[in-house]
Each structure stands twice: as C-alpha cells, then as structure tokens.
A and B are shown apart, each in its own frame.
Chain A
Amino acid sequence: MKVNPDPEPQEEGPLRLVEVAAAETVDPAMWDLRLYVAGKTAKSVAAFENLSRICEEHLAGKYKIEVVDLLVHPQLAQGDQIVAIPTLVRKLPEPIRKVIGDLSNAERTLVGLQLRPARSGAEDAS
C-alpha cells in the first residue's frame, strides 16, 4: 500500500476533476451525483467511465457528476463518510444513496441508484 498524505498536482487524463462548490442551486429534476476517487487508480478510472456510460444511457440530459479526488482533498470525504474508494453518492434526488466500487456491474449500480427495482433474492448479482 502507498500512503498519499500530500496532494499532488494532477496530470491531464480521462478524469475531469471538478472541485465541489460549497453551495449551489440545483434544479430539482436534476440528478446530483458525486463520485469519490483516489487519483487515477484503475478502479477510479473504471468507476468514472462506467458511471458516465450508465448516466448517458439512463439519465441523458438530467444529471451532473462531480468528481472529488480524495488524494487532493481528503477532507472532503467527511460529509459522506467514505471508507472504500471509489464510492458514488447520490445527493439528489433524496434520500442519499451510496454505491461502492468501480460500478462495473451495471445492474447493481442501477439498483443502487434506484433506477431499477432490486430483483427479489438477487441482491448479489455478480
């Protein structure tokens, strides 16, 4: 394991890193999603790609993704009690929902975001 106590400047890459604004007015019909990543680890990159795809397929035109890089801003995790990274948090619509991992299982992600009802007895759809 590698400890990353100091934030490093990020190079250009597939992740669009968006700093989180403190207060923002949000259209109630919009989905407000926040993805916590740790720099460009494989799963962080995978999670962002998978999330973008799922949103384009299911929420086209009515979503916003904020990517929070915890290597740069570890303190921003506090509000959402993040343990494992990557973690996706649905801020809006309420209630807050979390999906942990790289979102490679689209089915599980859709259920986690309540875009699709959970199949009975099929919680673990890996």
Chain B
Amino acid sequence: MSQALDTSAGGSGDLRRRLEEAEETIRALKAGEADAVLVASPDREQVFTLEAVDKPYWLMVGHMPDPAAILTSDGVLLSCNRPFADLLGEDSVTALAGQPLGRFVGAESRQVLESLLRSGMARETEAQIEIERADGGRGTAHLGVRALREGAFGFCLLAVDLTAQQHYQELQRTQAALREADRKKDAFMATLAHELRQPLAPMRNAVEILRSAGNDTDERSWATGVLDRQLRIMTRLLEDLLDVSRLSRHNVELRLETIELRHVLESALETSRPFIEAGKLALTHALDGPIRVHADPVRLAQVFANLLNNAARYTEEGGSIRMTAEQVGDQVVVSIKDDGIGIEPEMLPSIFEIYSQANPELARSQGGLGIGLSLAKGLVELHGGTIEARSEGAGRGSEFIVRLPIAS
C-alpha cells in the first residue's frame, strides 16, 4: 500500500480517496462481494479467482435433486440448479446468476425472505415463501437456508426448497393417523363380535328350555322373556350400527315437525329406564316448559336415550343421574349429568369419535360399542344443534350438554 500513501500525486484529497478505496476493498472482500484479486508485480499482473474454492459447492448444488441455490448474504443468486430455475419459472440457469432472489418473491413474503436470510447466517432456518415466477405464475417454496463458508472471503448461503421433504413428512403423519384409525377399527371389530355373540348363549339356553319345557308355562314364559330381551338388545345394536353407517354417508332423513321437547325427553327416559333401574341409579329431572323444537321426535329421543344409557353405563350402582332442560336465549340447553367414573381430560376431545371408548375393557364388561356418543353427535348436528362433553376428570362424573335451536 506504499503507493496508496504517496501524497505527492494529488494532495490530501487524493490520499483520502485512496484510503477510502482501500477500506472499501477490504470491506468488499470481507463481505464476499469480490471473488478475485489482481496482484501486480513489476513485470506482470496476475489474477487469482476463488472459483476453485467454491467449485465443490457449486457442483454439489448442481446435482441436488431438490431445488437449491447459492446466494450472497443479502440474497443475490450466485448459482442454482435446474430444479431451482424451474421453481422460479426461469428457462436459463445462468441468467439467474446475479439476480436478487427478492425479485421472484411475492410482496407478502419479502420481509419473511429478509429475516430468513438474516437468521440463515447464524443458524439453519426455514420459512414458507410465496414465489412470483418469471413466467407470471405463482408458487410456494419452503426454503431452508444455511450459511456456507466460502473460502477465506466470508459467507454465502445455501437455500434449498424443502417442499418435497415437507410433503414426505405430511405423508408420514397421514400414514400414522391411518394406522391408528385402522387399529381402532380392529379393536371395534373385536368388541362388535363380542357384543353380537353375547346374547347368543342365553338365547341358545332359552331355546333348549323351550324344547324341554313341555307344558310348564312358567318355564316357557321365562324362556320367551329371555329371547325377547336378547333379541331387543341385538336389534338395538344393529340399528345403531346401521345409523352410524347412514350418518357417515349423510344418508339420514329427518322427519321434522314442531314438537314439545318434553315429549321427546319423556320418550327417551322411557327407553332408558330399564338400564337406569338395573343400575339402581337415582334419576331426577327438571324441565323448563313448554319448549318447542323443530325436530324428528324419534331421532331426537334416540339422542337423549343414548346419552342416558351412556350415563347409566358409566355410573356405579347407587349413583345418580340428573337431566335438566332450560331455555337460554333462542336455544334450549339440555344437560345430562352423572356422578359416575368421569372422563380423563386427554380423552375429552375424542369422546365423540367413532370407535373411541373411554375404557374399552370396562365398556365391554358392561355392554355397548362406544358408538352411542358418535351417533348422538351426528344426529344433534343434523338438527342444527351442538353437543359438548364436560368432566372434571376420572371419578368425578360427566356432563353432556346438548344445545338446540328453539322453534319460532
């Protein structure tokens, strides 16, 4: 730099300019904005380029199957592979060198890109970027950015479109969900087989007794009673199954009429009474009246009967169930609350999913397929209402709340 300090050439202004140039040279080299230097010796000038140093990176990027590019720290494209040019809708890979990537980024993503490049210098970072392609189209890239050391002259960035990887991860998640659904379905099938087989033994016994009873009327009426009850259980089971299947195919037709809600709730109570009495449960109810709803009385009674049966099933002997209905605004809120085994908090969100059962072992021992709640939800929603489950945890009872629009 002795030449730069030679003030005889043009005074202090010239010296200042040369010092500034020297500073600017150092800055550009440090920032990686220059990739060649010229070294002058008395007999000749030699040019040294950094090409050899970063060539392996370039080759690597060129052969990557995913879109990839090398950028300067402020986002100017230095080199990219064919897939990256395709991503930007640009025919020529070489024409992209020297262009700021920001040019191909939608206005809404510019700031995202800036902070991506900034944090990419410090650590590997990813972000979703909206692409405005050179051919006018639009697209999305999930860019992962990381710093590459570029020889002794500073850093540049490697940007890779991870969209394909993301799709792969999404597929993996879907696959896991499908496997879980499949597992639940298997468990459901096992329960279903068990439930369908259970009435067969008493029915077979009853048939045997009928065969051998002769004229003994007591024996005969006991046996027909068994057949009657077990047939009813099987019928209900199969009806529920068919309804769930119809609901999932949106194949349920409601016969709507404007009715008194009290009649629906009483009909549900009638259906569930045998279960409630079998469990020696205390049932209380308080119904605001008169409340009229526009509903299918049979289907709606099925909803509340299912909820009552569910409460009875999961409440220990001697427990209590309370059913209330009150008008709140333009809705009627029906609550069915028990002091039974309750629901674990982590089970609450999936309680209405088909095949889901708070405790499959318990449910099997007490009968039921765990489809009653799923059915209730589907039917309530068909009526334009909502259903909600609440529980403060295991052993602390459950409450099911149905909200339905009141008929005007």
A binding-site residues for B, Cβ under 8 Å: 1-5, 13-14, 38-39, 41-50, 70-71, 74-75, 77-78, 81-87, 98-105, 124, 126
Contact = CB atoms under 8 A, between A and B. Distances in A.
B210 interface: no
A42 B29 CA distance: 14
A83 B49 contact: no
Contacts of B52: 1-2
Interface in B60-113: 70, 72-79, 94-95, 97-100
B74 A82 contact: no
Given A81-B3, A100-B25, A49 B33 contact: no
A3 B36 CA distance: 10
A104 B97 contact: no
Nearest to B24: A100
Nearest to A52: B98
Contacts, number: 141
A104 B76 contact: yes
Nearest to B28: A101
B78 A46 contact: yes
Nearest to B76: A104
B45 interface: yes
B37 A50 contact: no
8 contacts: A38-B35, A41-B51, A43-B36, A71-B47, A75-B44, A98-B21, A101-B34, A102-B98
B38 interface: yes
A41 B58 CA distance: 12
Contacts of A81: 3, 21
B254 interface: no
Contacts of A39: 49, 51
Contacts of A47: 98
B95 A102 contact: no
A98 B24 contact: yes
B88 to A, nearest CB: 14
B98 A1 contact: no
Given A3-B48, A102-B76, A102-B98, A77 B33 contact: no
Nearest to A87: B34
Given A43-B34, A85-B38, A101-B31, A1 B48 contact: yes
Given A45-B97, A46-B98, A74-B45, A85 B74 contact: no
Contacts of A14: 94-95, 97-98
A3 B32 CA distance: 19
Given A14-B95, A84-B25, A100 B33 contact: yes
Given A100-B28, A100-B33, A102-B98, A42 B54 contact: yes
Interface of B: 3, 21, 24-25, 27-29, 31-38, 40, 44-54, 70, 72-79, 94-95, 97-100
Given A70-B47, A104-B72, A83 B35 contact: no
B29 A2 contact: no
Contacts of A100: 21, 24-25, 27-28, 33-34
A64 B29 CA distance: 26
A105 B74 CA distance: 8
Contacts of A1: 48-50, 52-53
B49 A41 contact: yes
Ranked nearest first, the 4 interchain pairs of A and B with the lowest CB-CB distance are A49-B98, A101-B33, A38-B36, A101-B28
Nearest to A1: B48
A74 B25 contact: no
A117 to B, nearest CB: 16
B16 to A, nearest CB: 12
Which residue, B36, B44, B46, has most C-beta atoms of chain A within 10 A? B36
Contact of B47 (A4, A105, A124, A126): A4
Nearest to B26: A84
B10 to A, nearest CB: 10
A77 B38 contact: yes
A55 to B, nearest CB: 13
